[in-house]
Amino acid sequence: MSNVNKLLKQKLTAENYDRLMAVNNAKIHEFVADAIELTSPETVFVCTDSDEDISHVREMSIKNGEESPLETPGHTYHFDGINDQGRDREITKYLVPKTETLSKALNQIGREEGLAEVRGLMKDSMKGRTMILRFLMLGPRDSVFSSPCIQATDSWYVAHSEDLLYRTAYEQFCKIGSDDNVFCFLHSAGEMSDDMVSVDVENKRVYMDYTTDTMYSVNTQYGGNTMGLKKLALRLTIRRADREGWLAEHMFISGVHGPGGRKTYLAGAFPSACGRTSTAMLPGETILGDDIAYFRNIDGEFRAVNTEAGIFGIIQNVNAKDDPNIWDVLHNPGEVIISNILVSDKKPYWLGMGEDIPDKGVNFSGEWFKGKKDAKGKEIPPAHKNARYAVALKALANCDPELDNPEGVVLGGVMYGGRDPKASVPVQQSFNWAHGIVLYGASLETETTFAIIGEEGVMEINLMSIQDFLAIPLGKYIQNNVDFVNDIKKPPLVFGVNYFLRDKEGKFVNGVRDKHVWVKWMELRVHSDVDAITCPTGQIPCYEDLVKLFKQVLDKEYTKEDYIKQFTIRVPENLAKIGRVEKYHKENVPGSPQIVYDTLEDTRERLNDLREQHGDYVSPFDLTTG
């Protein structure tokens, strides 16, 4: 018997040892043994796919106080600490070997130094607790898209959340044999308060050792920092996709209905709090995924899957009118976890829900009352802006039936969108795949929001809405996207969208529900059912088509004034944006493909030509006659 097996047999009960040994994989055994030696848990629970085991995880999360029941049967709430309310860029780092370099735009630390630091923080961190082992799958089971993952955590809340968000895969793990193509995640909440909140947030760390496909997370509970299969796995997957010739993307996938009963699948990349989930959840359409997608060339077709099986969505502004499917799930019996909201009389309240919020209750700051202030004298809101809900996709009435199709779905279009108050029109189509990847994806500029710890309202470049998660050179990632369709028979169309364009008075020119019209227009363009007008940055809708769509989709009159406000080409603002993007690539993206600079320069020339003909601000009606 090997030393690894001896340690596992010593530390695990006979039942849990047998469960682990049924997964006959040396890499997994070594990972678990190392995790046990490092963190010193009192017990280890190996969770299978059985209903009894999954129920036990949920029950323990309530029993130990990480979750508490709400009034609606099956609903629970969880609080992260007041200083642990979002994905933390500053403490999320790549462990880079001495022989390698990553882009300076990415947070990183030397591998040896980083391992010593994070493993030092994790030493004996699970004393007196249970280590929970979860066997999960990214992508549908038994699929070319599948990526097996093992999570070791001392948080029953994290383990429970992953039941809702991912596909359980213990039985699949029992079949993988010696395959070492497994992602490993080790998490500890660290020291916890009596309220079961991580205490030592000053020492929270999320470090990725991409040389071994292992993630370490400590002194944090927030899902984006702890649920290994979410953005932590995306970082590892991007490297695997780069090696194997496919794409891992920060995108939703939605089924959009068109004329004649057809359904067209569209994917979209948006930074957090920029409209991703609301676009994926448009009423009357189907949702296949809201966050992470894998793309592969399957026999010349561009196919996509949702890597996840649930939604960890922002709950702020979810209301009965705009989000009926989510609203129903949040108000009917079923398994739902809601985090960092206000709780009063066992009822949850969140910002923008369209109902009166009580003046007191319990929230992420503890006992809360209206006017309560934090240590810096800033008033604490009743619920956090980044409060979340976790729910299985199959609980939604509009869940797409192809969710678990091992072959994925054929993609008709992709869109890139961010918060751009000044320059970009609400929707436009690129001239071709490469043009869209560069001008809408690699040039994505957005205002920062509350979903990421740091200053809000700052304009920043966020390449493809995935920059935070890249563990390969940024330039190589762009080139991978450009090249991906070389052998695709019918590449998806590429669209740029912007729900946050403002007028001179600072008012949004888009209505909240207008996005549904833009998506319906995209669906028609995929099938060449409508024409478009060429402008310097792409192709925009014709006024007559939008009149019909606004009436059909929203039963709303659409005026020429609306069209002019939304689709006037703002030449100075677009030129300024191109300058910022170009500067960013030169300074932060070594090896950025030449096509990036060529596309930006071509766009600059077209904008300047338009300016010479029509001035700084050009009505879309002038484009039709020019």
Task: Give 214-225 pLDDT, tens digit per residue.
Answer: 999 999 998 878
Q: Which residues pair with 265 in a beta bridge?
A: 255, 411
Q: Is the pTM of this model over 0.85?
A: yes
- The DSSP-derived string for 50-97 is SHHHHHHHHHHHHHTTS-EE-SSTTEEEE---TT--SB-STTEEEEE-
Phi-psi region at 376: left, alpha or beta (left = phi > 0; alpha = psi -120 to 50) = alpha
Domain with CATH 2.170.8.10 in the chain: 312-395
What are the residue ranges in the chain where pLDDT is below 50?
Answer: 449-454, 456, 626
Indicate the DSSP class of residue 314: E
Who's near 457: CB < 8 A, 6+ residues apart?
Answer: 447, 448
Burial (0-12, 13-18, 19+ Cβ within 10 Å), 526:
buried
Domain with CATH 3.40.449.10 in the chain: 3-65+88-244
Q: What number of residues does the chain have?
A: 626
Give me 502's structure tokens: 């403002």
Who's near 602: CB < 8 A, 6+ residues apart?
Answer: none
Q: What are the φ/ψ torsions at residue 312 (nearest 5 degrees)?
A: -110, 80
Output the CA–CA distances (angstroms, integers) from residue 78 to 122, 318, 609, in the order listed: 23, 18, 56
CATH topology of domain 312-395: Phosphoenolpyruvate Carboxykinase; domain 2 (2.170.8)
Give me 183's structure tokens: 């992602």
pLDDT of residue 1: 60
In the CATH scheme, what architecture does the domain 248-309+403-625 have? Alpha-Beta Complex (3.90)
Instruction: List the catalytic residues.
Output: 274
What strand order describes the sheet that includes 347-349?
Answer: 347-349, 342-344, 360-363, 366-369
SS3 181: coil
Continuous segment of H or E residues that includes residue 10: helix 3-11
Give the Cα separation of 234 and 388 in Å (integer).
Answer: 20
How far, in whole angstroms, is CA 597 from its chain's centroid?
Answer: 28
Indicate the DSSP class of residue 469: G
Give the Cα separation of 66 and 221 in Å (integer).
Answer: 10
CB neighbours (10 Å) of residue 462? 21
- The DSSP-derived string for 281-301 is T-TTSEEEESS-EEEEEETTE
Domain with CATH 3.90.228.20 in the chain: 248-309+403-625
Q: Which class is domain 3-65+88-244?
A: alpha beta
515-526 and 543-554 helices, crossing angle to 10°: 120
